[in-house]
């Protein structure tokens, strides 16, 4: 099994940081790269002519590797909401159709469609949060709902941020295909941990950021755009999104046709001297460990937590329906805020999410973090 990678991070031994699903600490190597990058921006005349392009290519390749994509099918964007906005502009959703979203899903895969629904004449159908935690069955039932309007799109997260529910995207994709419905995936909480292959899944769009599970900075995200949508008009009109609009040319607007692939959707001002390399380093680290090793490590930690809390009054989800790297607990007889505050007082850090305690370890955690968490939760809720 992959051992704890704590030595790669600047985390004191007395700190049990169990909140990767909010934001992850940066590896030491990424911090060093950030310092170098700031210095680089301070003296930009030292940059090689092809430096920015090298950074773009490296980050794009690292992101593509994590999802089994061709790098030219991946666009460099700033956030998940930016990626969803691209889909909103590209997809032509039929009037009178419906768009499926998850109840209490994160804002990114939901608000774009709520905003467009009235003007474009489609309706939003919210899949209720299932009492048993089985999101997959709930979505499949919504897809097959008798008498429902035609389905044009399912815009869903691969893992529900508030309860840790894991969706079987392949089953959902297979159910959508006969209806001609598109699939947009917010893969924030799965890419890098859970094996993802867009060639097999065939989503229309799949978006993910780096600041959580991919050990990277804010402001860096990536969107996979299926080839069938790569003729769409991007959100921003940029020189680098066109085939030959270059300042070094004798003719500036030499060829204003869009690039023929997903690179046309790259965000404006993509030359981030600081954060682009930081994002690449984190993704390359995750790829070097492999999803199999990472998920085995993290599932072992969450199982250890769950088993350790057997005698407590914590309500735990069915392991069959939760993501292996996230554990969400309810405490019916306690104040969640008070419990979390007591944990933080002992330097154990978790997050409150819609009435649940969300615990999300990463490769920098070890068994002592878990055992201390179990001990302190048991005491705090006794």
pLDDT digits (tens, 9 = 90+) for 261-300: 999 999 999 988 789 999 999 999 999 999 999 999 999 9
Q: Which residues contact 209 (CB under 8 A, 6 or more apart)?
A: 79, 80, 188, 216, 218, 220, 221, 222
> Do residues 359 and 18 make contact, with C-beta atoms less than 8 angstroms apart?
yes
Write the Ramachandran bin of 50: left for phi over 0, alpha for psi from -120 to 50, otherwise beta: alpha
User: What are residue 56's phi and psi, to 5 degrees?
Assistant: -60, -45
Per-residue pLDDT of the chain (382 residues; tens, 9 = 90+): 899 999 999 999 999 999 999 999 999 999 999 999 999 888 999 999 899 999 999 999 999 999 999 999 999 999 999 999 999 999 999 999 999 999 999 999 999 999 999 999 999 999 999 999 999 999 999 999 999 999 999 999 999 999 999 999 999 999 999 999 999 999 999 999 999 999 999 999 999 999 999 999 999 999 999 999 999 999 999 999 999 999 999 999 999 999 999 999 999 999 887 899 999 999 999 999 999 999 999 999 999 999 999 878 889 899 999 999 999 999 998 999 999 999 999 999 999 999 999 999 999 999 999 999 999 999 999 8
Q: Using CA atoms, how far apart are residues 289 and 227, in angstroms rounded to an integer? A: 29
The alpha helices in 208-326, defined as continuous H runs, are 275-289, 291-308
The position carrying tokens 């979505």 is 139
Q: Is 300 exposed, middle or buried (0-12, 13-18, 19+ CB in 10 A)?
A: middle
What residues pair up with 101 in beta bridges, in sequence order? 126
> Do residues 129 and 102 make contact, with C-beta atoms less than 8 angstroms apart?
yes
> If you count them, how many residues does the chain have?
382
Q: Using CA atoms, how far apart are residues 159 and 205, in angstroms rounded to an integer? A: 16
Model pTM?
0.97
Q: Determine the pLDDT at residue 378.
A: 93
> Do residues 374 and 381 make contact, with C-beta atoms less than 8 angstroms apart?
no
User: Which domains can be identified in the chain, with CATH numbers?
Assistant: 6-18+290-380 (3.90.1150.10), 38-287 (3.40.640.10)
> Do residues 26 and 211 make contact, with C-beta atoms less than 8 angstroms apart?
no
Pairing of strands 16-17, 348-349: parallel
Q: Using CA atoms, how far apart are residues 198 and 67, in angstroms rounded to an integer? A: 6
Query: 194, 167, 197: which is closest to 67 by C-alpha?
Result: 197
Cα R_g (the chain), whole angstroms:
22
376's enclosing H/E stretch is helix 367-380
HSE at residue 356, side-chain half, CA atoms within 13 A, is: 19
Q: How far is CA 75 from CA 53, 115, 217, 296, in A?
A: 14, 23, 17, 30
What residues pair up with 356 in beta bridges, in sequence order? 353
pLDDT tens track for 138-168: 999 999 999 999 999 999 999 999 999 999 9
> Do residues 160 and 102 make contact, with C-beta atoms less than 8 angstroms apart?
yes
End-to-end CA gap in the chain: 34
> Do residues 204 and 83 make contact, with C-beta atoms less than 8 angstroms apart?
no
């Amino acid at each position: 099994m992959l051992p704890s990678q704590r030595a790669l991070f600047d985390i004191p031994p007395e700190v049990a940081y169990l909140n990767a699903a909010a934001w992850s600490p940066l590896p030491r190597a990424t911090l060093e790269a950030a310092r170098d990058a700031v210095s680089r921006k301070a003296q930009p005349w030292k940059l090689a002519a092809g430096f920015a392009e090298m950074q773009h290519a490296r980050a794009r390749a690292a992101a593509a590797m994590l999802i089994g994509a061709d790098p030219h099918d991946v666009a460099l964007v700033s956030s998940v909401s930016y990626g969803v906005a691209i889909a909103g502009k590209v997809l032509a959703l039929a009037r009178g159709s419906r768009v499926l979203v998850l109840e209490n899903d994160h804002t990114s895969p939901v608000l774009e469609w709520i905003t467009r629904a009235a003007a474009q004449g489609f309706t939003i159908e919210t899949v209720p949060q299932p009492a048993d935690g089985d999101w997959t069955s709930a979505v499949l039932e919504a897809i097959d709902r008798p008498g429902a309007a035609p389905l044009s799109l399912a815009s869903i997260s691969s893992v529900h941020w508030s309860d840790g529910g894991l969706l079987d995207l392949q089953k959902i994709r297979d159910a959508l295909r006969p209806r001609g419905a598109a699939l947009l995936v917010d893969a924030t909480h799965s890419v890098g941990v859970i094996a993802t292959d867009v060639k097999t899944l065939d989503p229309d769009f799949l978006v993910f950021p780096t600041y959580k599970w991919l050990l990277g900075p804010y402001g860096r995200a990536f969107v996979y755009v299926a080839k069938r949508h790569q003729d769409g008009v991007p959100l921003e009109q940029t020189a680098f999104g066109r085939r030959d609009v270059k300042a070094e040319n004798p003719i500036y607007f030499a060829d204003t046709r869009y690039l023929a692939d997903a690179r046309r959707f790259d965000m404006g001002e993509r030359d981030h001297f600081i954060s682009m390399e930081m994002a690449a380093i984190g993704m390359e680290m995750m790829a070097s460990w492999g999803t199999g090793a990472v998920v085995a490590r993290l599932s072992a930690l969450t199982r250890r937590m769950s088993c350790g809390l057997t005698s407590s009054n914590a309500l735990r989800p069915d392991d069959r329906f939760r993501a292996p790297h996230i554990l969400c607990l309810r405490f019916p007889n306690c104040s969640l805020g008070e419990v979390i505050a007591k944990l933080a007082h002992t330097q154990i850090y978790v997050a409150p999410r819609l009435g649940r305690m969300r615990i999300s370890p990463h490769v920098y955690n070890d068994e002592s973090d878990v055992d201390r968490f179990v001990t302190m939760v048991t005491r705090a809720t006794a």
